[in-house]
Chains A and B, each alone.
Chain A
């Protein structure tokens, strides 16, 4: 006897100009199954789930849900059928409260007071505590995700789609989430779980479909398959793991002490007494869940945010009062997280974008008059050295893929020979081979004696390349620990902030009871 699949996908194809996002994709999910959709950045996972959720229409192919033809023209129809989705980039409204946010995701929400009561009930039942009256803008990334999950759960979905849910969670929070998901699965809710983290998938999922470049390249039962096998299917070739010859740390060259900065935006995170000592040749990894002050820290180090004189020093020279270009002149360079709009101007050419940070150190102007020939030559140098795939430096930044633009942005700083380089999320949303190139270039730079601070939410990345590790939590930086020998549990506690280490453990236990 065969059970009817809950969701059956048959030959879905979706093409965008210049790229086929999904090519004849087929798979099926049974009721109550935790099914993983595995693939690296750009494999077409997001497009696929958007089609299931009714945000994107397929070019061809068909779907059926509980045995009936299923072609949601809009998310409303998907929700009505019993499909709910937790987004990777949250679909939340910061200036509205939790209950209002939940109501917006429901078809026929009850009155606010009744809704608030239900939110409390459901959040307790699933071990996800949440206060319905708080503004979402004041919540942490993990709490925001709870809002999304509860919004879904209140509709009793038959299929819950989760797009990279753990990227914003500490390891302990991940445990709590998995506990919730297993409970849901036991109650009969199927889960489509999208991720590129193999160990997570092995511990959580019943079945996995692996996508590469828009095509299904394999199916497996994660529990019975090794991470290495899955990785090979996902990436298609084995990648060189970034490495460096040796890691002798030199003198302390860059020092931050007692750095406190008020946030520039109403929902920003204030920095509190941040202290850093960076040695020549050191890669210092700063981990932390999104929204714990990463942007603010980069802005304070780059000089975009005002910092107190004396709070930042380079080679014992006070630079705290200096602006971005003055710090650049001294050798402090940065690559922010947001590529389009912060690190680069989307509509400007790569040549113009090269000028953005390289003017001072590369002497690209004379008395304010720009030497375009030299600027173009520098941009071409970056493109060539860092293997940036683009027809030429006259192309607009936004025409490049994420990985290529990131290579350009990091390369632009590396090629200016920084004394100190600060990068935030250097490989976020970047395909595996570009990510490996970028990490290697960071290590090479450290090898030459530069001090490097890598701010990242990707713990695997930090464990791979950093000598020392510190965690950012609510704008406070933990003590620095040597990376080798750190366990995931320790890291998790550091990320959660030492003060509530105890609570978190208890919460996890409580949820497990």
Chain B
């Protein structure tokens, strides 16, 4: 009989190795899934993980896309990881992302057609503020009324989606858009554009921000009391109170940071890659970022790598859709599978597996 035996302390080696193991297992299970769909599994895995980076035919398009897609995932996941470490579960980043985009876009469009270098920074601040404000709803309900933040933050995603719909067909609709839903194309307005900073690299202001946020999160978690308190609150809530951590402040802080970062991701996306507010502007980054956060072991550097990997599955997935007609939903299932495997093999960081004979007695 196999039994689990708790390690005296978490194994550092396994903490680093489990994400890799999970990716390998997901490739195997995903391969089986592709085989069941009647596709060549090896070819499918190669197209998803290899071709976007190294196949000369696709790399020139795909490589810049890597940063473009990874940036929002990393931004959101870093924010979520702080809360997850503290045992505060914001799973409504998708909603905060939408509200950030709407707030930022509204700010910019309010000044249209004024041209000023201040407009874009203002939009970014408004975007972060919009996300923050949306995250404050579950934060305040939790601190005031002990309402479960998981359910509230998630339900607010649906509210945000309805609000997005009403913005796209209502107050943000492009007056020159011949009645089609959707706002003006922000990426084509000089003062509201989030341009590619280095041609062919995919680098835009969101990518720059994501890198800065990774570094800041790293410093905070390892060198600063705030990070220490976050970790302490998640691992031992009673010890955290004993250490003088104020739970209310921590909830507001963690939800606030994650909301603001999700909002920033939203405004960078809507002014850059997405270009405009439309009904289906959001593509689920807020949910995929949950996977990124866990795959990165809630560690800033891990999240950076996990964000890039997850971006790769998006790009590779599109490629596989094109080349092998593998449906987009298969990639979504593939990403979900990755989280399953990660959580499953995570047991190895804290437990040893031992083979045990039935008791002799």
Contacts and interface: CB of A to CB of B under 8 A. Distances in A.
A and B touch in the complex (CB under 8 A): yes
A450 B10 CA distance: 38
Contacts of B225: 359, 365, 368-370
Interface in A314-369: 323-326, 328, 334, 336, 338, 340-348, 352, 355-357, 359, 365, 368-369
Given A57-B359, A368-B224, A345 B241 contact: no
B243 A357 contact: yes
A398 B9 contact: yes
Interface stretch (A58-66, A115-123, A505-513): A58-66
A194 B242 CA distance: 34
Please classify how large the interface on chain A is, using the bins under 10, 10 to 19, 20 to 34, 35 or more.
35 or more
Contact of A396 (B10, B226, B242, B360): B10
Contacts of B243: 324-325, 356-357, 359
Contacts, number: 89
B242 A357 contact: yes
Contact of A342 (B10, B224, B242, B361): B242
A395 B242 contact: no
A343 B241 contact: no
A24 to B, nearest CB: 14
Contact of A368 (B226, B231, B359, B360): B226
B361 A71 contact: yes
Contact of B359 (A58, A323, A365, A396): A58
A347 B361 contact: no
B242 A356 contact: yes
A36 interface: no
Contacts of B5: 17
A31 B123 CA distance: 84
A346 B8 contact: no
A343 B224 contact: no
Contact of B224 (A59, A303, A347, A370): A370
A342 B239 contact: yes
Nearest to B227: A370
Contacts of A304: 241-242
A302 interface: yes
Contacts of A63: 361
Interface residues of B, number: 23
Interface string B226-240: 101001100110110
A342 B244 contact: no
Contact of B361 (A58, A344, A368): A58
B9 A343 contact: no
Interface in B235-256: 235-236, 238-239, 241-244, 246
Nearest to B233: A345
Contacts of B10: 347, 396
A323 B236 contact: no
Contact of A345 (B224, B239, B246): B239
B223 interface: yes
A346 B236 CA distance: 8
B238 A352 contact: no
A352 B228 contact: yes
A344 B9 contact: no
30 contacts: A57-B361, A58-B359, A73-B359, A304-B241, A323-B244, A323-B246, A324-B241, A324-B243, A325-B243, A334-B242, A344-B236, A344-B239, A345-B235, A346-B236, A347-B9, A347-B10, A347-B235, A348-B236, A355-B228, A356-B232, A356-B239, A365-B225, A369-B223, A369-B224, A370-B224, A372-B223, A395-B8, A396-B8, A396-B9, A398-B8
The 9 closest A-B CB pairs, nearest first, are: A57-B359, A396-B9, A71-B361, A399-B8, A325-B244, A345-B236, A324-B244, A342-B238, A368-B225
Given A17-B5, A398-B8, A398-B9, 5 more contacts: A324-B242, A341-B239, A342-B236, A345-B232, A396-B9
Interface of B: 5, 8-10, 223-226, 228, 231-232, 235-236, 238-239, 241-244, 246, 359-361
